[in-house]
Amino acid sequence: MEKNNFLRCAHTFFFSSNIAWMVIWIERANNRATHFLVFSSWVQEFYLRSGLQGPVAVLVQVLWSIILAILIFVLVHLLSRLRMTRILLSTLGGFIALAGFPLIALCFPTTFFQTLAFERRFALQTPWLLIELALVTAGGILFYLRKPRVIPAIGISILILHFGFWSWLTGTHPNPLALAQNYGFIRLSFWISLVFYWGFPVIGLLSSLAWGLYVTVLAETDPASSA
């Protein structure tokens, strides 16, 4: 039971982080609540003190995602005793983990990093990307249904390839050493920039791994809850 609780908390944490990151990204892309997010006095003060060389949007994405993730985590944790919450975490949570990043990339391609993206642009609306996304989603459904059982190393490799592919397409893969040279490894501005640029693929990957481990252990210890 303690193991289940720990895995549920881990899955809830990464699920909350993933949702928060996507919501703030969309809000910035659509300029919704931009004035509130960017021009809050404490955001401006933090930005001046952080030493960031990039736009304030970098800090806005990271800070507000952290705040929203905490709120979502607390809410989901409080509702975790409900059967419906557990079902949503084990089903919808997996879909969001696997498909959230690609869907945001397809819907808002110009919000990503064009200079690092495939062919220095990411405005690709091709059937092949939808096919890749559909195949990964179908694989996630089969994994959830345990048909067939997947060797962990194979599943992890597929997830790394999936998120690596979308990271390569969208440019969310700057060289950490180059960022360290610009900011300094021990400075807060370096870590904020690193989280901003690598946020989507890393959070998506960790969220998918946490979901996979959660539903696997849940199926073995409490088959009724995973059904």
Per-residue pLDDT of the chain (227 residues; tens, 9 = 90+): 566 778 888 999 999 999 999 999 988 877 655 555 555 666 767 777 766 666 777 888 898 899 999 999 999 988 887 888 888 888 899 999 999 999 998 888 878 875 655 555 555 556 788 889 999 999 999 988 887 777 888 989 999 999 999 998 888 888 888 878 877 777 777 888 889 999 999 999 999 999 999 888 877 776 555 55
Residue 212, pLDDT score? 92
What is the per-residue pLDDT for 1? 58
Looking at residue 92, its amino acid is L
pLDDT at 59: 82
**Cα(156)–Cα(123) distance, rounded to whole angstroms?**
28
Q: How many Cα atoms within 13 Å fall on the side-chain side of residue 169?
A: 24
pLDDT of residue 51: 65
**Overall domain count for the chain:** 1
Q: Write b or e for each residue in 134-165: b if 16 or more Cβ atoms lie within 10 A of its Cβ, otherwise e.
A: eebeebbeebbeeeeebeeeebeebbeebbeb
Q: Are 173 and 167 in contact (CB under 8 A)?
A: yes
| Structural domain span for residue 96 | 2-226
d(CA 13, CA 19) in angstroms, rounded, equals: 10
Cα(161)–Cα(67) distance, integer angstroms:
30
pTM: 0.85
The pLDDT of residue 176: 84
* Amino acid 34: pLDDT: 57
C-alpha–C-alpha distance, residues 33 and 45, integer Å: 19
